[in-house]
Amino acid sequence: MSLERLKLSKSTINQAGDRLDCRVDDALHQWLLAVRRHLHRFPELSYEEHRTAAFIRHKLAERGITGHIVGGTGVVADIGPADASGPIVGLRADMDALPIVERTGLPFASDHPGRMHACGHDGHVAMLLGAASLLQRAPRLPGRIRLIFQPAEERGNGALRMIENSVLDGVGAMFAGHIDTHYRTGQITVDPGLICAYADPFTIALRGRAGHAARPHEAADVVVAGAGLVMAIQTLISREVDPNRAEVITIGSFQAGSAHNVIAGEALLKGTIRSTDTATRERTIDGLRRIVGALAGMYAVQAELTFEECLPAVFNDAAATEIARAAAWETAGIDKVISQGPASLGGEDFAFYQQRVPGCLVRFGAAPAGASGPAHSDTFTFDESCLEIGARWLAQVAWRWLLQPGTVNLTGDRSTDGR
């Protein structure tokens, strides 16, 4: 950013007409904590978020806001003037949990065995509810804010279901944030362009010939075949991908066999390819097909490789990012607004919104004071001080976009190619 642009952008955060009262008093702070902890105690998996949706609607009603069920378990609410001709900005929070047995030892740990909020979505919902509370204080809003509480982000397609149910009708831009314990509490990362990778989930079904553990020559062992396949796949990254290109293949599930003395006849492997540009992605997909076919022949088994729908890359619109940055400066202070660095190889279905309207996804630093496992682990937790920061930023970014919606190019390139 040029020095002149930086000075101009800094000056905008001090214009009296642009200011929104985003102070979080003790009552709202305690409310945010209570909301997050309730959601953490009662996590629900993708497309099962019925209790979560009911709780969100109840909390919205406490603030005088009517929430509507959309897409089965999502919740959508509009706040602001009902004038259909005015600008609308969308704010999104994901709300689903993961199939993990929690081992944090928190006093509000999951009461649902085998389910856990291990990615911060409980915090995201609390933040968006907090933002709604702050926006309700404004004597007059310059447009409408659409609150989108989205299910099934972990499935990678919850955003599509919400879009199919018309949540983007009239929306000029979308904004969201994600809790990230890799950054210190108080920091907000804001970056234009590519920030999250493409994600291609895949399944490999192996069919061999079951047999007795003492007579392997009579069988075709899919465990040995699968193990060889897992190891061979790694060479796609180490020997076929340009080392200057970020990419990873992970096998997250390998299921086979049911007894110690039986050679398994069937196996199922599930994984993802995560890429930061389309050319590398396509080459790796072709390479995976080649290796699966070759290894099937080597081990005399049958193999079927199938891909689920690609999760697009998150590509932040430049103009939306400038508004997000100004809101972050107002929220956290200029010295706390940083770059995330290289694009994350994590996937985010916020990308589906960005394929249709300009948008920006930021990260809220939330490194806890004590020990914490990484996201998607059974010991993941975060510093709850980030809740009010996220609530304030969401309110600020919506306010700022409504004041200057023309700065976002509604007909710009929605490409997510990170090259």
pLDDT tens for each residue of 174-207: 999 999 999 999 999 999 999 999 999 999 999 9
211 Cβ contact partners less than 8 Å away, ≥ 6 residues apart: 218, 219, 262, 263, 265
Confidence of residue 83 (pLDDT cuts 50, 70, 90): confident
User: Does the structure show a pLDDT above 90 at 15?
Assistant: no
pLDDT-above-90 percentage for the chain: 88
Q: Quick one: pLDDT at residue 402?
A: 96
Q: Report which of residues 229 and 410 the model is more confident about.
A: 229
Contact 24, 392 (CB under 8 A): yes
Residue 273's domain comprises 198-307
One domain for residues 17 and 154: yes
In a domain, 416, yes or no: no
Total domains, the chain: 2
In a domain, 412, yes or no: no
pLDDT tens for each residue of 218-275: 999 999 999 999 999 999 999 999 999 999 999 999 999 999 999 999 999 999 999 9
pLDDT tens for each residue of 271-307: 999 999 999 999 999 999 999 999 999 999 999 999 9
One domain for residues 342 and 379: yes
Q: Which of 256-270, 330-344, 403-417 has the lowest mean pLDDT?
A: 403-417
One domain for residues 102 and 44: yes
Question: Which residue shows structure tokens 């059974």?
Answer: 378
In a domain, 99, yes or no: yes
Contact 140, 402 (CB under 8 A): no
In a domain, 47, yes or no: yes
One domain for residues 233 and 290: yes
**pLDDT mean across residues, the chain:** 93
One domain for residues 157 and 35: yes
Q: Which of 13-22, 40-49, 346-355 has the lowest mean pLDDT?
A: 13-22
Confidence of residue 370 (pLDDT cuts 50, 70, 90): confident
Residue ranges for the known binding site are 119, 121, 154, 178, 376
- Indicate the residue among 307, 329, 345 that finishes a domain: 307
Q: Read off the pTM.
A: 0.90
One domain for residues 254 and 374: no
Contact 123, 384 (CB under 8 A): yes
Residue ranges for the known binding site for Mn(2+) are 119, 121, 154, 178, 376
- Indicate the residue among 272, 307, 342 that finishes a domain: 307
One domain for residues 244 and 184: no
Beta strands at 302-307 and 74-79: parallel, antiparallel or unpaired: unpaired
Residue 147 bridge partners (DSSP): 77, 91
